[in-house]
Structure 1
């Protein structure tokens, strides 16, 4: 795995003021915005808008000085290289066994279910109990109150039963090949539960969404006249406007999608002119198998990144700790030099008084006391004590 690139604030400051950020960002596999954020975090000023245009036209321009840094943790800037491992897992192979694939080919979504999975059953119960008080959004899809069981449905009332049958079928099919239907984020009580299919240590979320189409003006007017819109709750009143908000109607077409961002292979299946999603179970199963492998490899990659980051973070913190110790030791050294200078002057003063001579016993007593003070403060009097203090500074913990 490639290691991150490290540089000091001064080095990055010199780069951003000698080359446009738009060109420099690509060298670090960042966007312009990403590099600007990096500079902002480390308190590195960037050229203002129009700076490079003035440079090209021969105008004299001034740099914004690099501010002084008092935080050792910000002294080193870290850039992560583009990972080859992530590129390699763009199109992972399916790991379905022959037996698992045959089960997917032979399985058929049931037209009727006597007993649903507890999650699907809870969702159906909430849907039926809502009755006429059912919430419908402007896309015509059913919405559920916060924290109400919803295993990924975004469908209209017309296709709700079909979505339940399809999901129950997928739960049964995937269960027969060893993939379980589980709740994600079970420990979080502040949000609605989310479900997904699990294989090994990987859990994949999904959604079952109905494709809708926009209503025509005549259809919206007809809907209003028949009173169907009165069953929709929480709809804003647009009567004061010169136009009506767009509403959508059911198409009966359903899309089943794995929630992965641009993995490089198919993760969406929908009804088309020749095939319903109920007849695409083999390709859906293959897609999930590839998605599980993709997620597994990505988890490994993320773990490697985390360990490498922790290693680099430990090195950076140790460097910062050593810098703090060095700073404190130097401050102690300069303090000793100042003390030595003062003691030397004090001894010269005492010697001057003694040379002048005086029989007053009070002066003799005062000079004796002054000599004790000078000897007590003299850094040369106890060199071992100075070394002990120096070593103690290096041994003590430095907290941030």
Structure 2
């Protein structure tokens, strides 16, 4: 555990009123909900929504005084966020990775106000949308060789969109990921710019939210018109879909670490699921093959056994017929009725029995295409 000795109740009260909880939690390994529950348990009031915005604009927000505590006061221990310690067990996997990215000094999480050494795809995207805007036939503009980023924003927001994308791509590259342009895939959905994270491909687009306004038309009905709000939404078009958007307190630019952490975890989860599916499919195929082989063997042996049954039956019938001939021949001899006509008929029957007998199967021109087992 951490060597953190703990805070007095008044010290924690002063802390939560000195800076936002999100900033406080950068130094401690507890989640937002755990921290709020702890403050509630110790009856420590927290700033209300809008407090930090008012403070930022030099207004005087209301500060709630610290109530007296009737029970005996004890030190409040908040575990420090030291990598590798058990204290981190209270954090989610996403929170841990987000924290790791934020604390990596090699990564730049600040989006600049101007493009500086932009990526090739950023410049290609900027050039593409400039040509689209100037063209009377925008759909005739071909995608640049470097590929382009998906941007659906108003003219006033294009520069911000390019700055965000460029910063995001540089962050990806510094984390060992890349952007890849896919063309001529047999399925058109897979074509275009893809973000490759831990070997997994993601299609991501950036758009600006619109505000819908019903306006008069001069007639009895109204028409809907849409106006840009300046609020950005970053969406991953993969299943299950996920998106991030500007809020009152945080913009997309403030969420770079969280976005990247989520995508990295998502990619690892997809890889794991794919490997598990491949293992399952291989095992399923192995069992299916064994079952198919057993089925084929069963069919072959069953057919073979049926054939033996049929042959045995035919042999028994052939023996019965021969006994029948003997009885007729003996009876005719005793009664002195064994004439040439009867002998001819008996010889004909003997030939047919020899054709039918599975141990003989004598050829017969007239019965050439007759199935003996079907009789």
Q: Is the 8 A contact 1:185 1:194 kept in 2?
A: yes
Highest relative contact order (Cα 8 Å, sep 6+), 1 or 2? 1
Q: Is the 8 A contact 1:92 1:294 kept in 2?
A: no
Equivalent residue, structure 2, for 1:131: 133
- TM-score normalised according to structure 1 size: 0.52
Equivalent residue, structure 1, for 2:296: 321
Equivalent residue, structure 1, for 2:8: none
User: Which residue among 197, 212, 215 is the counterpart of 1:199?
Assistant: 197
Q: Distance in 2 between matches of 1:350 and 1:147?
A: 93
Q: Distance in 2 between matches of 1:335 and 1:350?
A: 22
Unaligned runs of 5+ in 2: 1-91, 362-375
Q: Distance in 2 between matches of 1:152 and 1:330?
A: 68
User: How many correspondences in the alignment?
Assistant: 261
Q: Distance in 2 between matches of 1:191 and 1:293?
A: 22
How big is each residue's C-alpha offset from its partner over 1:155-186, in whole Å with a ceiling of 9 and x where there is no partner?
A: 34442332233212211221122111123576
Q: Distance in 1 between matches of 2:142 and 2:314?
A: 70
The answer on 1:109 being equivalent to 2:104 is: no
Equivalent residue, structure 2, for 1:216: 214
Q: Distance in 1 between matches of 2:229 and 2:271?
A: 36
By how many angstroms is 1:375 displaced?
Answer: 3.7
How big is each residue's C-alpha offset from its partner over 1:211-250, in whole Å with a ceiling of 9 and x where there is no partner?
A: 22112315xx59xxxxxxxxxxxxxxxxxx9645533221
Residues 1:304 and 1:373: Cα distance change in structure 2 (over 3 Å): same
Residues 1:372 and 1:129: Cα distance change in structure 2 (over 3 Å): same
Equivalent residue, structure 1, for 2:20: none
- TM-score normalised according to structure 2 size: 0.55
Q: Distance in 2 between matches of 1:147 and 1:322?
A: 59
Q: Distance in 1 between matches of 2:153 and 2:136?
A: 13
RMSD of aligned residue pairs (Cα, Å): 4.1
By how many angstroms is 1:252 displaced?
Answer: 0.9
Equivalent residue, structure 1, for 2:40: none
Q: Distance in 1 between matches of 2:281 and 2:142?
A: 33
Q: Distance in 1 between matches of 2:326 and 2:348?
A: 13
Residues 1:146 and 1:301: Cα distance change in structure 2 (over 3 Å): farther
Equivalent residue, structure 2, for 1:153: 151
3-state SS of paired residue (1:102): coil
Q: Is the 8 A contact 1:346 1:374 kept in 2?
A: yes
Q: Is the 8 A contact 1:104 1:285 kept in 2?
A: no
Equivalent residue, structure 1, for 2:248: 273
Residues 1:118 and 1:335: Cα distance change in structure 2 (over 3 Å): farther
Structure with the greater alpha carbon radius of gyration: 2
How big is each residue's C-alpha offset from its partner over 1:263-308, in whole Å with a ceiling of 9 and x where there is no partner?
A: 9xxx533222233212322222222222222222222222232223
By how many angstroms is 1:327 displaced?
Answer: 4.6
3-state SS of paired residue (1:343): helix
